[in-house]
């Protein structure tokens, strides 16, 4: 028996990376998608008959009220909150303004969507929130301290609110997807060139999008993307000396941080 696609899904950060790949995956299965982003989507996405785009800045005042309107107007089956950014470098040397903006996007914007989902009033049908966290949100990441802290917030908020809404009997499921490094414009958006030397174990956005669909079809509170990554984080990681592991993570975070070259 063919599964019924979700009627409508809201996807933040829809114009690149994981969010864009998730939109395409949802559209292929027959869902209608409302994409939210500050950047315009690609023509291939924008021209799809089941895709609707709304140009928004999730960090701006008034976005919480807009979320309440969106839940009331569209009554989505699910929200995939993919919007986010990162910083990388020695703590204390990264511009403070950039890290404060990251906290607004990764932390406060996430709080807005989760709070609005719960506070919207009587919920007529089940709602599933999928928050894109990171393995940095369940581990120690020297060299990406504030980014890691912001993703710990995402994972912690999702877990605690999920348990609360279950106790309260609300028809809301809150999941986190925690991917390892993904080949997106993550470094470019931080103002750095891509690594000259590729690191192993990096996933593609389509891998994470496939896992988003898996979690939507088979609800679970938390899932690490990729079998080998799940094995590493749940088993192998604990066998390594912590200081050795953290030093290697720190060295990898700082490796090959070359500023973006101006366009010719």
pLDDT of 71-94, one tens digit each? 999 999 999 999 999 888 899 999
Q: For 77, what's the count of Cα atoms within 13 Å in the CB-facing half-sphere?
A: 14
Token pair, residue 147, equals: 């980014």
* N- to C-terminal Cα separation, the chain: 55
Residue 229 backbone dihedrals phi, psi, to 5 degrees: -70, -35
Mean pLDDT of 217-236: 86
Closest CA to 212 of 234, 184, 179, 246: 179
Inform me whether the pLDDT recorded for 264 exceeds 50: no
Q: Which of 65, 68, 70 is CA-nearest to residue 34?
A: 70
Across the chain, where does the E strand assignment appear?
8-12, 32-37, 51-55, 78-81, 127-132, 172-178, 222-224
CATH topology of domain 8-254: Rossmann fold (3.40.50)
User: 237: buried, middle or exposed (CB in 10 Å: 19+, 13-18, 0-12)?
Assistant: middle
Q: Confirm if 171 and 192 have CB atoms less than 8 A apart.
A: no
Instruction: Give me the long-range contacts of 65-68 (CB less than 8 A, separation at least 24).
Output: 67/112, 67/113, 67/116, 67/117, 68/116, 68/119, 68/120
For 116-151, what is each residue's pLDDT tens digit?
999 988 888 999 999 999 988 998 899 999 999 999
Q: Exposure of 10 by Cβ count < 10 A (0-12 exposed, 13-18 middle, 19+ buried)?
A: buried
Q: CA nearest 127: which of 77, 177, 73, 68?
A: 77
For residue 200, is pLDDT > 70? no
- Average pLDDT rounded to a whole number, residues 192-217: 80
Task: Give the strands of the sheet with 127-132, arranged side by side.
Answer: 51-55, 32-37, 8-12, 78-81, 127-132, 172-178, 222-224
Least confident window among 12-16, 66-70, 174-178, 190-194: 190-194
- pLDDT band, residue 259 (cuts 50/70/90): low
pLDDT of residue 227: 83
Quote the CA–CA distance of 22 and 45 in Å, as a whole number. Answer: 11
State the pLDDT confidence band at 62, using cuts at 50, 70 and 90.
very high
Q: What's the mean pLDDT when you consider all of the chain?
A: 88
Tokens 């807005």 locate to: 112
pTM listed for this prediction: 0.87
């Amino acid at each position: 028996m063919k599964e019924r696609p979700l009627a409508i899904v809201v996807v933040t950060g829809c114009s690149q990376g994981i969010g864009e790949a998730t939109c395409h995956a949802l559209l292929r299965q027959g869902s209608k998608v409302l994409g939210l982003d500050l950047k315009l989507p690609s023509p291939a996405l924008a021209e799809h008959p089941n895709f609707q785009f709304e140009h928004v800045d999730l960090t701006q005042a008034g976005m919480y009220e807009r979320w309440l309107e969106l839940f009331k107007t569209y009554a989505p089956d699910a929200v995939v909150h993919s919007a986010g950014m990162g910083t990388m470098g020695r703590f204390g040397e990264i511009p403070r303004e950039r890290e404060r903006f990251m906290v607004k996007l990764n932390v406060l914007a996430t709080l807005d969507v989760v709070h609005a989902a719960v506070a919207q009033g009587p919920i007529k049908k089940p709602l599933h929130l999928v928050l894109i966290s990171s393995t940095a949100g369940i581990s120690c990441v020297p060299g990406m301290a504030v980014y890691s802290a912001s993703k710990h917030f995402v994972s912690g908020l999702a877990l605690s609110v999920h348990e609360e809404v279950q106790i309260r009997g609300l028809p809301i499921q809150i999941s986190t997807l925690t991917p390892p490094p993904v080949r997106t414009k993550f470094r470019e958006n931080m103002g750095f060139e891509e690594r000259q030397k590729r690191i192993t174990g990096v996933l593609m956005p389509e891998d994470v999008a496939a896992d988003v669909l898996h979690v939507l079809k088979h609800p679970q509170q938390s899932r690490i993307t990729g079998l080998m990554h799940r094995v590493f984080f749940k088993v192998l990681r604990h066998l390594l000396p912590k200081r050795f592991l953290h030093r290697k993570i720190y060295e990898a975070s700082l490796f090959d941080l070359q500023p973006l070259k101006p366009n010719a």
